[in-house]
Structure 1
Amino acid sequence: MDKTDDGFDAATFAQQFNQFSPGYGPHFKDIYRHMRAHCPVAHTDEGGGFWVVTRYADIMRVDADDEAFSSLYAVFPGVTPDTPRAGFGLLGEERTGPLGACPFGPNGEAPRLSFLPLELDPPLHGPYRQALEALFSPHAVTELSPWLLALNDQLIDAIIEKGEGDFSRDLSTPLASIWTMKFLGLPLEDWSDYAWFIQSANGGSGSVQPRTKSPSERELRERVAAEVVRQRTQPVAGGAITHLLDATVDGRKLDGWEIEAYIWMLMGNVAATPACMGSSFAWLSRNPEQRRRLAETPHLMPHAIEEFLRVFSPVHALGRTVMHDVELAGQSLKSGDRVLLCWVSGNLDETEFENPEEVDFDRANKHHMAFGLGPHRCMGSDMVRLEFRIMFEQILSRMPDFRVEEAGLRPSPVPAIVAGYEHVPFVFMPGKKVGGPRTAY
């Protein structure tokens, strides 16, 4: 039986799968549960036509085969290679250096190359990824912990005496955004402009108000480009932009457009991390016994974070382009076909995880897909975990009785791009400020 209590028919939806349709958000678990069981690799004519891959093992196979499934020609869901992408782009169309010689795709499409190194295949992918790796080493992550902890306390202090707040507006979005500005070496005071724009570009209205009135895409792109130029002579110690200006790829310095493409890739933290945090926060409110257990058993926190990432994956899917005819799960895929890898479905695959839709702090299998897989796996995974750990440890310590006001929850309007909540209002017993170091932002 594939119909839900409200009459939604997952089988009918699967026949013309469209992750941007209104029915997807409330029913994506039902949709993917049906597809894994009956049509694990299914074709849809929507969005110009593409294949939908839903089982854990099949997603693994596609992600591991860059020769057959390329990342060069648009990795984002519902975006065809010839469709202009809103937001996160570059100022110019010129592609210099070795990437300027990247081949056109099987349908004659140009490489995208707006997000590095995500939109690269081997052998180019490895050297471009290595240019960033030092910033994400365990030592680098550990060194950032005190600064992030102080910022978290500062954000909680701003609302602790009120007894109410909005988790996204007051805590998760500022934490992820200010931290991202710090990491990149961009002006901290601009954090709300980027957060508002990125959340709005992803289909939402933004959980925070921008410092600049409705900053445009071009304005923010110009700010990034100008900052790259400025830091050539005025480096920001420890910032990713300055690091990339000093980095080399196969013995050559990076051009400005390449550094911009790295920056916009790293900006993903501004939207994805708060979205996953909001879903996790709401779950803890609905499950007070598990929240109490987590507060009383701190060593469970890393396990809880892995479960939150698996069950509440903020990025539902990414795409690939088929480079030569190939068979997948009994289906014949042709050169030039588009493929959607549904990470969220892989994370809920019954053959990989027992009771997959349940959050289980004691789960042994932690091999989820929330950060992607293999060579393309998110380099910032340990930093995301650090953001999660500090935020939730401090919340459980300083406002342990919090309660989300369910009537005020506002889901992300386009979960196929970023899944979570735009607004998460909550109440708690007022407490005292802790003071300490303060960051100007």
Structure 2
Amino acid sequence: MTAGAHIKTDASEGKGAAPKPLPAPNSDFYRLADTLNAEERALLSQVRTFMETKVAPIINKYWIEDAFPFELLPSIRDLGLGGLGMQGYGCRGGSAMLFGLAAMEMSRVDSSIATFFGVHNGLAMGSIYAAGSEEQKQKWLPLMARFEKIGCFGLTEPLVGSGASGGLTTTAKREGDAWLLNGQKKWIGNSPWCDLSIIWARDVADNQVKGFIVENKTTPGFSVEKIHNKIALKVVQNGLITLKDVRVPEENHLQEGKSFRETARVLRMTRYLVAWEATGCQMGAYEHALKYAQERLQFGKPIASYQLIQDLLAKMIANITACQCLVVRMAQLHAEGKLTDAHAALSKAFTTAKMRETVAWAREILGGNGISTDYDVARFFADAEALYSYEGTYQMQNLIVGKAVTGISAFV
């Protein structure tokens, strides 16, 4: 029985009345799509078509196999989204709203593909766009916008996560017209196979964090070990990067990246992006759970007709709607030049926390089937854990917000 099947659900209908068709699952309860302009609606439709026709049919297979669907790269390239949100240098351009909408639509079907795109477009390209010289932008961004070069972002270390601003153990030492990098980076998405890495390291001369473009496949001393046995974002290939006397020419040192301030500028936009991804993850889990509830029969009728299920669905759509309204307003603040680190931190913390609730309720609605990837919800449920933690933990985001509202820093 399909979601659109004619099932009589209203006891007030007479015996001779035609049964009403059930509504198709729709996670846009407040009709925010109606507020989008023509360009935004077109992009939303473009990404949705790609995700539903190209990604959805194969993604569970790759998730189970802990593998990346390289067969999709030509189609991703043909979307023409490289450099979304960046102006010039062969980039797609467009607003932060467009970037967020694309991430949300991707995550609505699969958070791994959204993460791959966010790492390449938001973190790697974003680092060069924000902290690179004009020459570096001209050299790298067009190639990356065309997906001829894929990038990753190396900040987190085996022993340094939240303390990256002042505690990086990866070092950079200037030697003539080059830099010598030593250290390790962990959980770096795309790194086992991509072409270049943005490595953030502490300059031993002034103790400041600086960024470097490392060409993975041709740089001696650079190696990557794929991380196995993950329970979340299994399609994303994460790696442990080891840098052993890696020599990087000065021309690959991000010229405008003189301290962690530039890194933080990139992180502000990636936290912005994660909020959209977390919203999309909820949307996908909810739509699958609602369709299941409309189709699954128990005691002779769909489980969607029971009060306890409707209570869960109502709480899920409330979470989603609150997150959608929040990220749209965040995009408006960005457009007005008013988006702060605290705004991005609040959105990342709130949306990922609500996402955790929503995907858990979706899994609950499916009962035993909720732990099988055959029904998709299990994948959303597991992937949500990675979104909740990466780009800054919930607690760290709240401390950023706490400092903004009190004027007092609680960081150690």
Q: Which structure is higher in helix share?
A: 2
User: TM-score, normalising length from structure 2?
Assistant: 0.29
Higher Cα radius of gyration? 2
Per chain length, whose mean CA-contact separation is higher, i.e. which structure has more relative contact order (CA < 8 Å, sep 6+)?
A: 1
Q: Which structure is higher in strand share?
A: 2
